[in-house]
Amino acid sequence: MNPERVPGTLHDFMRQALQMELDAAARYAEFADAMETHNNREVAALFRKMAEIESKHAEQILSEMGWSEMPGPITARPAWEGFEAPETVPIDEVHYLMQPYHALTLALESEERAERFFAQIAEAATTEAVRKAARGLQEEEREHVELIRDWLSKTPKPDRNWADDPDPPRYTD
């Protein structure tokens, strides 16, 4: 998080939080499609579930703020650093043979990043409204982290040779 870009108003802050949830949902949906196309049904279903969950969080934010849809773009740069929002799983972290454990690990990491982000916002916030909202979201993310940790503990670890595909790549064009 870049402290110089910490949002000054509740509106700006919640808009960024909403963007985070929407970006995360869109990314998970994309992953779900890619996994389905590559016959990795189990992980596809898992990503589909994560996309649903993130969409629900987005809806929660909309309803809390009384927004019927995404408010117009803010002119200030988002407070997060790096290419993408903290809750978005980077596009190159997936593998066509990945297992549910991997997918959950990615989800866990993104929730942890989100939690850290909100904590940092809360620290650096210049207004009480933002600080309060950030703490609230941080708390929620902490719950998500716990949920995923629990889910992960019930998920079998991948075999050592999970990435082994004896067949060579095929070409089609």
Partner 1 sequence: MNTTSRGVRRSISIAMAGSGGSGVMTAGTLLLDAAAKAGLYGLMVRTSGPQIRGGEAAALLRLAEAPVDSLDDGFDLLLAIDWQNIHRFADEIPIRAGAIVVGDADEGEAPEVFLRNGTRAEAVPLKKMAKAIPGSWTNMVALGVAGAIAGIPLEALEAALRRSWKRGEAALAANVDALRAGFEKGATIGALPALEAPPTDRSRWLISGNEAAGFGALRGGIRFVAAYPITPATEMLEWMAPALTKVGGTLLQAEDELASINMIVGASYGGVPSLTATAGPGLSLMTEAIGLAVTAEVPIVVVDVMRGGPSTGIPAKSEQSDLSYAVNGLHGDAPRVVLAPTSISDCLATTQWAVHLAEKLQTAAIVLSDQFMGQSRAIIDEPANTGVVAERLVAEAHEADYKRYRNTESGVSPMAIPGTPGVVYTADGLEHTEAGIPSSQSADHQLQLDKRERKLMTHDYGSAWADVEGEGELAVITFGSVTGVVREALARAAERGVKARLIALRLLAPALPERLERALDGVDRVLVVEQNHSAQLLRYLRSVYDLPGRPESFHRPGPLPLRPGELADAIVEWRNR
Partner 2 sequence: MNDVVAPAEAGRKPLTAANYKSSYKPVWCPGCGDYSVLSSVTKALATIGVPPEDVAVVSGIGCSSRIPAYTSCYGFHGVHGRALAAATGLKVARPDLTVLAAGGDGDGYSIGGNHFLHACRRNVDLTYIVMDNHVYGMTKGQPSPTTEPDWDSKLAPGGTGVRSFHPLVIALASGANFVARAFAGDPNGTADIIAQAIRHPGFSFVEVLSPCVTFRPEQREWKQFVHPAAVGPTDDPARAARRIMTDDGFNIGVLYAGKRKPYPVGDKPATKTVEDLTAEFSL
The residue range among 23-31, 33-41, 63-71, 140-148 that interacts with partner 1, by the rule CB under 8 A, is: 33-41
Is position 37 an interface residue for partner 1 (rule: CB under 8 A)? yes
CB of 39 to partner 1, least distance (A): 4
Q: At what angle do helices 100-124 and 41-65 cross, to 10 degrees?
A: 20
Interface positions, 113-132, toward partner 1 (CB under 8 A): none
Is position 74 an interface residue for partner 2 (rule: CB under 8 A)? no
Is position 96 an interface residue for partner 1 (rule: CB under 8 A)? yes
Q: How many CB atoms lie within 10 A of CB 70?
A: 13
Among positions 4, 66, 92, 167, the unique one binding partner 2 when judged by CB under 8 A: 92
CB of 27 to partner 1, least distance (A): 20
Is position 92 an interface residue for partner 1 (rule: CB under 8 A)? no
Q: How many CB atoms lie within 10 A of CB 12?
A: 18
Is position 39 an interface residue for partner 1 (rule: CB under 8 A)? yes
Residues contacting partner 2: total by CB under 8 A: 25
Asked if 127 and 10 touch (Cβ cutoff 8 Å), the reply is: yes
Is position 173 an interface residue for partner 2 (rule: CB under 8 A)? yes
Is position 91 an interface residue for partner 2 (rule: CB under 8 A)? yes
Question: Nearest Cα to 141, choosing from 115, 163, 165?
Answer: 115
* Letter string b/e over residues 104-121, b meaning 16 or more CB atoms within 10 A of that residue's CB: bbbbbbbbbbbbebbbbb
Q: CA-CA distance, 62 to 51, in Å (whole number)?
A: 17
Residues contacting partner 1: total by CB under 8 A: 20
Q: CA-CA distance, 142 to 50, in Å (whole number)?
A: 16
Chain residues binding partner 1 by CB under 8 A are 37-41, 96-97, 159-161, 164-173
